[in-house]
Structures are given as C-alpha cells and as structure tokens.
RNA sequence: GCCUUGGUAGCUCAGUUGGAUAGAGCAACGGUUUUCUAAACCGUGGGUCAGGGGUUCGAAUCCCUUCCAGGGUACCA
C-alpha cells in the first residue's frame, strides 16, 4: 500500500472518529502540493466540511493532527485556506525509490489477459502517403505500444484499400499516358509513380469536363458523361469480373505501391501483424445484412434497398445495401468487423481513423450492437483531427500535400545540419552519424505530432521548421544521451546496495515524478492518448536537467553513498525516458 | 437547417474525477561554461481561458446561450 492509500484510509477513519460520520472514499481529494508550499501531498478539505460541520480551517487542523499521530510517514502539516498540506518523511520517498523504482520490474505492467486489435494506416493504393497519414500511422503505432505496455496482447492490423474507382483512375491514366514507365525506368518510388498518374487522370478529367461544358453540358452532366470517367468505371467492372488484363495491371501497379509503402513504413518505424485487403473483403457484409433482415433490425424499401432506422437514437435512416444488391461502405465494414472478430476473438478493437468519419463509426457500432453482437461494446473509434496547412486542407489530387517521404527526408537533413553545427559528432563513424541524424529527425517529427491530443486538429506550417529545442523529441533524446554519458563517466553499477542518504528538495520532487510512470502509462492507455505520455516524458527530462544543474558534479562526488544515489536517480530517469519514448515509437541515442 | 468537435500568452500546445495566484516551449530581452554534453539551466515581460448567463464554498473544466472555425448530414470511402 502506498502513502496515498494510507492517507485516504486514515482520513476515512479520522472522519469516523472525530465526527462520527462515514465519508465515501471518492470525497477524499488528494493532489500534489504546489511547490510554493511546505509538504508533498495535499488534502482538499472542502468536501470533508460537509461531514465535520466545521470551518475548512478547523477541519483541516483536526485532520492534520490526526494524520500526523496515526500515519507513520506523515511528519507535519500546515493549513492554507481549505488545503491541508502534509509533509511526508524523506525516508519514505527514499525507501520508495530504493525498493520500487530501482527494481528492474518497475514500470512493467503484468499481462491482463485481454486482447485488443488496433487497425491503423489503412492507406489507399492510388497515391503516396502524406502528413495526414503520418499522423495516423504514428498514432496507431504508439497506441498499440501503449496498450502492450498496459498489459494487453495487441494485434496491429492494416486494412488496405486496394480496389475501387480511384485505383482504376491511376491505372487508366498510366495505360494511356504512361508509355510503359516503371519505377526502375524513371527512378521514381512506386507509390509516387502511381500517384503521379492519379494526378494526371484528374487533370485530364477536368479538361474533358471543361470541353463538354463548352459544348453545352452542365457541370453535373459533364462529370458523368466524360469518356474518361466512363472508361474508368468500365475498368472497375472488368476488374470485378476478373478480366485478366485488368487484374494483371492492377497487380503490377499495386505491387509498385506496396514497395513504396514498405519504404515509408520502415522509415517511420511502424509495423503490422496482419494485413487485410479490401479486394478480399469488399463483398463481405451481405450475410450480415441478411441476418439483420431476418431479425428485423433492417427493413427493405419497395425498390429493394435495405435500410436501418436509427432515428430513435438521434441519428438518421441509413442505407446498408443498394437496391441492385451491391455494397456500400458500411456493408463492407459490417462484414469486415465480423471477420476480424472471427479471426482473433479480441476483447477490444480500435479503429484509428480521422474525425471526418465520426458519424460513420457511430452508425457502424450502433448497428452491430443492435444486431446483438456481444463484441460490439469493445469497438472504439480513435478519432483524430485533420492535419491542416496554413492554406487549408491537404488535397492529393491538387498536389497541396506535405508528402511523407519528403518530410522525413527534410527532417533528417535538418537534424544533420543542426548536429553538425554543434560539432559533437566528430568521433562518430559515418554509419553512426547517419543513424543519429535519422533518430533525431524522426524523433523531432514524431514527438511534434504525438504531443498534441489526438482529437485536436493540427496545424502544420511547412515554412516554420519543427523545433529541436524545448518541448521536443530531440530535447528528450539529448537528456537521455546526457545521462548515459554521465553513467559512463561515473562508473555506474547497479550492483551496489541502495544507499541511505539525505535527499534534496529537487531529488524528492524527482522521485515523486518518476514514481508516477506506471500510472501515467495506464492513464495514457485508457485514454488512447500518447500525448499525455509525451508531456509526462517532457516533465521528466526537464526535471532531470534541473537536477543536473543544481547538484555539484556527480562524477566528482566524494561521498560514495551520495554519488551512488544520484547515479541511481539518473539511471532510473534514463530508463523511463527510453521505454517511454519507445512507446511513442521514438528511439533514444546513447550519445548525441 | 440539423448533428458533432474545437476556440487557453504574438505562435505551437499542457491543464487529472470542478480545487490554491491558469502552466510549458518557441519568439523577445537579460544572465550562466577553468565543474559530469549549453540540443541545457536561471531570470524578465507577456492572459477578458472566444463573449454572455447559470450551478457551486470554489469553474479553463459542468449546464444554457451567442459568436468563430473544422468535420458530417441517407446509396463516396
């Protein structure tokens, strides 16, 4: 039992003894004491006043006296307005550090026996990834890692949108204007090559629309009658019919895209346990529709289309199958959800998808619940805000995107340039340098994207480079490298017994902060929010740097117990920074 | 129109189940290196928490309302 729990229990007992009242545990409100006051733990006494029927100050004083007398490590108290500040013995904190934080198991949470699927990335295979996808990928990866750290068994899944009219557009444009261009012949990354033809299609399509409009057609008619779009639709039908020529082209071009994506994924450091392809799943869901019709959850309109009425739930009527029997988006998703569950029988399933699809997922989950799927309550849409440019939304077709590969390359180049200016890598080999630049550039990018709460939209200004100072990835990486260097120079060994020493105020603050690591992991996992972890790690790094500057050189410390203790503190800090950053998908260097 | 998510310092963001005088970073200004990595540390300035109303001992946080911005809105995904 930790000190907080002791205090809560004792406070309940105190209220019973002093006021003969039973106070519910949730009325006892503990918080960290603000640094300008004496003490470490504060009880907010206002809720207790209802039970004591005395003024906040009187209540606080009586509680304070009781706690000092009855709780072992509470050594003193002071009252400021309605706040009871408790001083906890230094020996308690030192003991907490030596016994718990220093143990190799610290921070690792036991498996909870639950299985969770995280679906993320889920790209279209007609264009390369851009900054919006980068946010998705980093978020998905780190949430998956976060859940692992919180004791879940995690399955990372990528549902690739590899079919449909948009894919046919690239294919058609390549067929018509490509002159047999390949990634090899043009030295263009496969996904970029395919994306190039997607843009060409759009350009030519627009030209045709303009031409048809000058011939007297309306915009809508022109969009429908353009020979180009008709041909693309024909191609989609051929694809569905299994036309071998179309299928071959499709396989070839998708193959290029996958090669390209693999490079980007590798650079981003994300991975998947299982790929699903929509070309295999797009026909799913019709069974589910039948099921819904049978048990009356769905109904059929006279034209034969199938619907669900969600107006009682404050939503609309929603089409789940077209009159001609073909699927819509949600049909597939119903079927795919069932298939995923059948494959893995997971307790939870998380969809990392942008907030533009909030409504879709609300409907999807509600339908599955109405169909009586026991696993529907485990479904969760991890919705995140769009990444916007100062000019507004990114649009692939119009080329107003920040390309993922370009951005990564720029970040690494910036890292290189900044590192060279500092001149600390002269004794690095070329390979070590390259690895370091990669680590720092990606660390800056990932931290920049992950430190923001997922649901908030994110503004990215390409003209302002991402910082490498202050609340950034490189700052935390630097702190880690600095500690590693310190441990080396100090001849650190974990074998030495935990020393009994006097601790400074900053050390005490550090111990309190470090001790929160496990609960920070759990809280971040429950909120599906790497951002809270990122901000915590920044606090830890900042705290270490403060400590490092305050304390005389540890390496030269003559009191061996003090030296050992400070190295211990440094070491625990380093390992929290390392494992925490790894959860964010960021690696930390040994030196930089 | 309706539904939904945001609005906190010049900029980018934190802010726990409502708790003390709303915090960081960047940018600006000043200081710190014969001492373990200055991508660091210390300090100064900077706020109508979008506006208004309400609940409460106490509101950035909860409720109502207005404004602004993003997203969605029945056969795109």
Is the minimum distance from the CB of A355 to strand B below 7 Å? yes
Residue A414 C-beta-side C-alpha neighbours within 13 Å: 20
Res. A413: pLDDT tops 80? yes
Query: What mean pLDDT do residues A414-429 have?
Result: 93
Q: How far apart are CA A137 and CA A117, in angstroms?
A: 15
Query: What mean pLDDT do residues A409-414 have?
Result: 95
The separation, in Å, between residue A476 CA and nucleotide B31 C1' comes to 24
Residue A79 pLDDT: 94
Residue A504 pLDDT: 92
Is the minimum distance from the CB of A277 to strand B below 7 Å? no
Instruction: Evaluate whether residue A110 is within a structural domain.
Output: no
The separation, in Å, between residue A59 CA and nucleotide B57 C1' comes to 14
The separation, in Å, between residue A529 CA and nucleotide B64 C1' comes to 30
Domain that holds residue A515: 410-583
Res. A390: pLDDT tops 80? no
**Sign (positive/negative) of CA torsion A453, A459, A465, A470?**
negative
CATH of residue A538? 1.10.730.10
Res. A325: pLDDT tops 90? no
Instruction: Evaluate whether residue A339 is within a structural domain.
Output: no
* Of A150, A139, A36, A132, nearest in space to A447 by CA: A139
pLDDT band at residue A81, thresholds of 50, 70 and 90? confident
Residue A396 pLDDT: 74
Instruction: Evaluate whether residue A135 is within a structural domain.
Output: no
Is the minimum distance from the CB of A164 to strand B below 7 Å? yes
Q: Return the closest nucleotide (C1') to the Cα of A421.
A: B39
Are residues A78 and A177 located together in one domain of the fold? no
Query: Among chain A residues 556 through 575, which have CB within 7 angstroms of nucleic chain B?
Result: 556
Are residues A71 and A174 located together in one domain of the fold? no
Is the minimum distance from the CB of A115 to strand B below 7 Å? no
Is the minimum distance from the CB of A283 to strand B below 7 Å? no
Res. A494: pLDDT tops 90? no
Query: Among chain A residues 240 through 259, which have CB within 7 angstroms of nucleic chain B?
Result: none
Query: Among chain A residues 376 through 415, which have CB within 7 angstroms of nucleic chain B?
Result: 385-386, 393, 415
Chain B: bases < 7 Å from a protein Cβ: 3-7, 11-17, 19-21, 24-27, 35-42, 57-58, 70-77
Q: What is the pLDDT of residues A30-45, one digit of tens each?
A: 999 988 889 999 999 9
Is the minimum distance from the CB of A336 to strand B below 7 Å? no
pLDDT band at residue A389, thresholds of 50, 70 and 90? confident
Are residues A436 and A575 located together in one domain of the fold? yes
Res. A392: pLDDT tops 90? no
Instruction: Evaluate whether residue A216 is within a structural domain.
Output: yes
Is the minimum distance from the CB of A508 to strand B below 7 Å? no
Give the position of tokens 């494992």: A579
Res. A345: pLDDT tops 80? yes
A142 with A150: CB under 8 angstroms? no
Give the position of tokens 């939209």: A457
Three-state SS at A16: helix
Instruction: Evaluate whether residue A222 is within a structural domain.
Output: yes
Question: CB under 8 Å to A98, separation ≥6 — which residues?
Answer: A498, A499, A568
Is the minimum distance from the CB of A314 to strand B below 7 Å? yes
Residue A496 pLDDT: 75
Residue A407 pLDDT: 94
Are residues A425 and A567 located together in one domain of the fold? yes
Res. A475: pLDDT tops 90? yes
Instruction: Evaluate whether residue A535 is within a structural domain.
Output: yes
Res. A498: pLDDT tops 90? no
CATH of residue A72? 3.30.1360.70
Are residues A430 and A569 located together in one domain of the fold? yes
* Alpha-helical segments (H) within A71-182: 90-96, 131-149, 165-177
Res. A550: pLDDT tops 80? yes
Residue A178 pLDDT: 93
Choose the final residue of a domain: A55, A88, A121.
A88
The separation, in Å, between residue A132 CA and nucleotide B69 C1' comes to 19
Are residues A211 and A74 located together in one domain of the fold? no
Farthest-apart Cα atoms in chain A, separation: 94
Give the position of tokens 């997607």: A198
Choose the final residue of a domain: A247, A270, A293.
A270
Are residues A74 and A196 located together in one domain of the fold? no
Is the minimum distance from the CB of A360 to strand B below 7 Å? yes
The separation, in Å, between residue A180 CA and nucleotide B43 C1' comes to 65
Query: What mean pLDDT do residues A387-414 have?
Result: 86
Are residues A70 and A170 located together in one domain of the fold? no
Res. A274: pLDDT tops 80? yes
Residue A554 pLDDT: 96
Give the count of domains, chain A. Answer: 3
Is the minimum distance from the CB of A300 to strand B below 7 Å? no
H or E element in which residue A405 lies: helix A404-422
Query: What mean pLDDT do residues A194-211 have?
Result: 92
Instruction: Evaluate whether residue A279 is within a structural domain.
Output: no
Residue A150 pLDDT: 95
Res. A315: pLDDT tops 90? no
Instruction: Evaluate whether residue A353 is within a structural domain.
Output: no
Choose the final residue of a domain: A270, A304, A330.
A270
The separation, in Å, between residue A518 CA and nucleotide B61 C1' comes to 25
Residue A320 pLDDT: 93
């Amino acid at each position: 039992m930790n000190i907080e729990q002791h205090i809560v229990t004792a406070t309940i007992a105190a209220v019973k003894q002093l006021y003969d009242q039973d106070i519910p545990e949730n009325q006892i409100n503990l918080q960290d004491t603000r640094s300008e006051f004496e003490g470490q733990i504060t009880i907010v006494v206002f809720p207790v006043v209802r039970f004591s029927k005395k003024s906040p100050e009187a209540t606080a004083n009586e509680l304070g006296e009781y706690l000092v007398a009855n709780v072992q490590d509470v050594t003193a108290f002071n009252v400021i307005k309605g706040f009871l500040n408790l001083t906890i013995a230094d020996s308690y904190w030192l003991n907490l550090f030596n016994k718990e934080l220093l143990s190799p198991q610290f921070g690792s949470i036991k498996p909870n026996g639950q299985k969770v699927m995280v679906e993320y990335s889920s790209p279209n295979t007609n264009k390369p990834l851009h900054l919006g996808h980068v946010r998705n990928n980093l978020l998905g990866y780190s949430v998956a890692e976060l859940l692992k750290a919180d004791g879940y068994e995690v399955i990372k899944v990528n549902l690739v949108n590899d079919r449909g009219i948009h894919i046919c557009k690239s294919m058609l444009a390549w067929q018509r204007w490509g002159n047999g261009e390949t990634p090899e012949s043009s030295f263009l990354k496969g996904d970029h090559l395919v994306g190039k033809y997607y843009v060409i299609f759009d350009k030519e399509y627009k030209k045709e629309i303009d031409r048809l409009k000058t011939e007297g057609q309306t915009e809508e008619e022109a969009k429908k009658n353009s020979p180009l779009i008709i041909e693309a639709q024909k191609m989609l039908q051929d694809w569905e019919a299994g036309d071998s020529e179309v299928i071959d082209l499709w396989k070839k071009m998708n193959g290029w895209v996958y090669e390209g994506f693999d490079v980007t994924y590798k650079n981003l450091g994300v991975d998947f346990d299982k790929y699903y392809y929509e070309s295999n799943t797009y026909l799913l869901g019709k069974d589910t529709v039948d099921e819904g019709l049978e048990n009356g959850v769905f109904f059929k309109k006279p034209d034969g289309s199938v619907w669900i009425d969600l107006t009682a739930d404050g939503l609309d009527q929603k089409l789940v199958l077209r009159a001609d029997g073909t699927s819509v988006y949600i049909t597939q998703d119903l079927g795919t959800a069932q298939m995923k569950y059948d494959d893995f029988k997971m307790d939870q399933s998380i969809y990392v998808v942008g907030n533009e699809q909030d409504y879709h997922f609300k409907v999807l989950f509600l339908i599955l619940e109405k169909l009586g799927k026991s696993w529907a309550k485990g479904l969760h849409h991890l919705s995140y805000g769009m990444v916007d440019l100062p000019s507004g939304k990114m649009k692939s077709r119009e080329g107003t995107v920040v390309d993922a590969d370009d951005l990564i390359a720029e970040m690494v180049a910036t890292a290189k340039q900044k590192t060279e200016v500092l001149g600390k890598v002269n004794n690095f080999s070329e390979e070590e340098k390259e690895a370091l630049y990669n680590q720092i550039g990606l660390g800056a990018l990932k931290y920049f994207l992950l430190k923001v709460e997922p649901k908030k939209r994110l503004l990215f200004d390409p003209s302002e480079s991402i910082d490498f100072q202050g609340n950034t990835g490189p700052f935390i990486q630097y702190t880690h490298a600095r500690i590693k260097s310190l441990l080396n120079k100090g001849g650190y060994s974990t074998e030495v017994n935990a020393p009994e020493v006097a601790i400074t105020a900053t050390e005490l603050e550090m111990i309190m902060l470090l001790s929160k690591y496990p609960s920070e992991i759990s809280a971040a996992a429950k909120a599906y929010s790497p951002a809270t972890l990122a901000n915590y790690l920044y606090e830890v790094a900042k705290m270490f740097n403060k400590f490092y500057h305050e304390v005389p050189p540890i390496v030269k410390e003559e009191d061996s117990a003090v030296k050992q203790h400070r190295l211990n503190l440094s070491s625990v800090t380093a390992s929290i920074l390392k494992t925490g950053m790894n959860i964010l998908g960021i690696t930390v260097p040994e030196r930089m």
